[in-house]
Amino acid sequence: MSVLVYINSNGEKIAKNAFEAVTYSKKIGDVTVVTNGKADDSMLAQLGKYGASKVLVDRSFEGIDEQQITRLVATAAENVGAETIVFSNDLIGKAVAPRLSVKLSAGLVAGATGVPQEDGTIPVNVFSGKAHGFVKVNTDKKIIALLPNSIQPEETGADAAVEEFNGNAGDSRVTVKETKLPEGDIPLPEAELVVSGGRGLKGPENWNLITDLATELGAATACSRPVADSDWRPHHEHVGQTGVAIRPNLYIAAGISGAIQHLAGVNGSKTIVVINTDDEAPFFKAADYGVVGDAFEVLPKLTEAVKKFKASN
């Protein structure tokens, strides 16, 4: 079976979710990757180590215009005869996959967590991660949007061949006036450790309580929607149903009550630790560990404990 994977590259590095998507797709069939921009050939060739046989790169346009990417992937799918098209279920995947589904009359499985079963069904997260289900696509072509951190990248092969490709993407109708790259060394969707804060921090001037702990843990930082809406933190740190969905090994939430919209973006976390003064906060019901206490007291003590542990090991 021919499988096409779209990855986004900013030209500096390949994201972890790209390696996840290629590893996942190799379990289904023969993998071709398509991308756009000016990423270095040697960097793109690394995708072969995770299962890609070749990489098609359209250097005629950069950026993340959904319409251009939709046309690019549609052209590539026809070129390689792809029966299955795979995206990471990130912001780009969520925007492009539905458009491509309509364009190709292909069934779409969003939020996949595993490979197709023997009966053709695909495991997915449903109801904002509160339950698991299986979806079967009856169209000739199918599109799968893989939930980030659902599969561990595996190196299984050698470098892939990189080929120039004209994806007939056309011109963009979008004018980009300014681009701001996310701050921090660890991209939030890929982070295995995340420290997050809410309105309980009382203001942006207290955010060092979050960043200090995150630095000691080697974690990414995140926030609730009210924090982002109040401009305490940038919106790319907002996790939740309308923000970034994450699946870290450890999620520490301080001063967040746990509204259903927030839980929808974090309930894939393997371990959740909640710090809140309100012992009736809804978040405690979803927590693996809970601390009823003031974040202004708990976070500094936790940070100091991590420092001492690191110093003694």
Return per-residue pLDDT of the chain as tens, 313 residues: 999 999 988 667 888 899 999 999 999 999 999 999 888 899 999 999 999 999 999 999 888 899 999 999 999 999 999 999 999 998 899 999 999 999 999 999 998 999 999 899 999 987 766 778 999 999 999 999 998 888 899 998 889 999 999 999 888 888 777 766 666 667 888 889 999 999 999 999 999 999 999 999 999 999 999 999 999 999 999 999 888 888 899 999 999 999 999 998 898 899 999 999 999 999 999 999 999 999 999 999 999 999 999 998 8
**Any known ligand binding at 249?**
no
Q: What is the pTM of this model?
A: 0.80
**Residue 289, CA distances (Å) to 127, 199, 266 in order:** 23, 20, 15
Domain with CATH 3.40.50.1220 in the chain: 188-311
14 assigned to a ligand binding site? no
Q: Give span(s): CATH 3.40.50.620, the chain.
A: 2-164
Tell the CATH superfamily of the 188-311 domain.
TPP-binding domain (3.40.50.1220)
Among residues 275, 217, 269, the alpha carbon closest in space to that of 239 is found at 269
Residue 258 counted as an annotated binding residue: yes
Given this model, what pLDDT does residue 125 score? 81
Report the 3 state secondary structure along the chain.
CEEEEECCECCCCECHHHHHHHHHHHCCCEEEEEEECCCCHHHHHHHHHHCEEEEEEECCCCCCCHHHHHHHHHHHHHHHCCCEEEEECCHHHHHHHHHHHHHHCCEEEEEECCCCCCCCCEEEEECCCCEEEEECCCCCCEEEEECCCCCCCCCCCCCCEEEECCCCCCCCCCCCCCCCCCCCCCCHHHCCEEEEECHHHCCHHHCHHHHHHHHHHCCEEEECHHHHHCCCCCHHHEECCCCECCCCCEEEEECCCCCHHHHHHHCCCCEEEEEECCCCCCHHHHCCEEEECCHHHHHHHHHHHHHHHHHCC
Q: Is 305 annotated as a binding residue?
A: no
Structure tokens at 46: 């690394």
Work out the angle at residue 128's Cα, subtended by the Cα atoms of residues 127 and 131, and round it to the nearest 5 degrees. 50
Residue 247 annotated as binding?
no
**Is 76 labelled as part of a ligand binding site?**
no
Find the Cα–Cα–Cα–Cα dihedral 77, 80, 85, 90, rounded to 10°.
-80
User: Helices 208-217 and 295-311 sit at what angle, rounded to 10 degrees?
Assistant: 20
* 225 in a labelled binding site: yes
Options 3.40.50.620, 2.60.40.10, 3.30.2010.10, 3.90.380.10; CATH for 2-164 is: 3.40.50.620
276 is known to lie in a ligand binding site:
yes
Determine if residue 259 is labeled as part of a ligand binding site: yes
Is 255 a known ligand-binding residue? yes
* 145 assigned ligand-binding residue: no
Q: Are strands 52-58 and 161-164 parallel, antiparallel or unpaired?
A: parallel
pLDDT at 183: 63
